[in-house]
Amino acid sequence: MQARTNSKVWFITGAARGIGFSLARQVLVNGDAVAVTSRTLGSLHQAFGQDNARLLALEVDLGSEASVQAAIDKSIATFGRIDRVVNNAGYGQQGTVEALTDAELRRNFDVNVFAPLHVLRHALPHLRKQRSGHIFNVASIVGFQGGYAGWSSYAATKFAVAGLTESLAAEVAGLGIKATVVYPGPVRTEFLAQGTLAVAQRSIADYTEAQASLDLHLNGLHGQQAGDPEKVAALILQASRVAEPPIHLFAGKIANALAEQKMETVRKDLDAWRSASDATDFTD
């Protein structure tokens, strides 16, 4: 089934729920085609029903490059092209730097950073051949303003996604391809639900701020997040339709406020240390 010439083909990871689900549903309403991925085919069929001419459900192990490649290849074989790539899958890992194990850290990076890289490596050859396409990498506001005790691993993965997107945007600019990093604030999804948020096996009592943050997120924030996943999805759709999309796309009032706070803090540090910083150059 080749996509209609005037429609777009999307490839969205983590589409069984949350922002990915909302975006895929809106894409279909918009008349576009979409390949959606999840760890289980059953979760996708429960969310969307059975495959149809504009929907391809794919069970993908994002940690396996072979699985990702097979999904990209099947999407191309089914629709003939891919126009929009959305790296949305990921999960939160709570725990202090001292408490987190190597295995916990590496798994978080495998899913949140290396899995999107698998997708990009196998999607980009097609986008490059087309000389068109738009990549959306979904980060988090903690990938821009990371000052939250107990969220070091998650923040680090999302900073990595942001840096990756900035560099990628420069690499593909001459190829007709766009890249955008999305920074949602707290969004009312299952991100903080028990069984979804990963909590470090070990905790250290001295890190009281980290424990307070965890308690707040689990007991006070879950189900009360300000962000609407449907509206975040609509924002991504809006950005996909403009000729000059942003590289940095913040979603929500909280995200905007925290971004402003971060920029003010950086400006303050930059100004305070300008003379000492300038003095580190060779004087010639």
What is the tens place of the pLDDT at every residue in 202-227?
A: 989 998 888 887 777 666 666 566 67
CATH number at residue 64: 3.40.50.720
Tell whether 216 is covered by a domain. yes
Q: Which of 91, 148, 154, 207 is catalytic?
A: 154
pLDDT, tens only, 51-61: 789 999 999 99
pLDDT on residue 241: 95
Supply the range of the domain harboring residue 43: 9-274
Quote the mean pLDDT of the chain.
91
Percent of the chain clearing pLDDT 70 (strictly above) = 92
| Residue 91 annotated as catalytic | no
Tell whether 284 is covered by a domain. no
Whether pTM exceeds 0.95 = no
Phi-psi region of 278 (alpha: psi -120 to 50; beta: other; left: phi over 0): alpha
Tell whether 93 is covered by a domain. yes
pLDDT on residue 51: 76
Tell whether 4 is covered by a domain. no
Least confident window among 134-138, 158-162, 225-229, 263-267? 225-229
If one counts the domains in the chain, the total is 1
Please give the radius of gyration of the chain, using alpha carbons only, rounded to the nearest integer: 20
Tell whether 282 is covered by a domain. no
Tell whether 88 is covered by a domain. yes
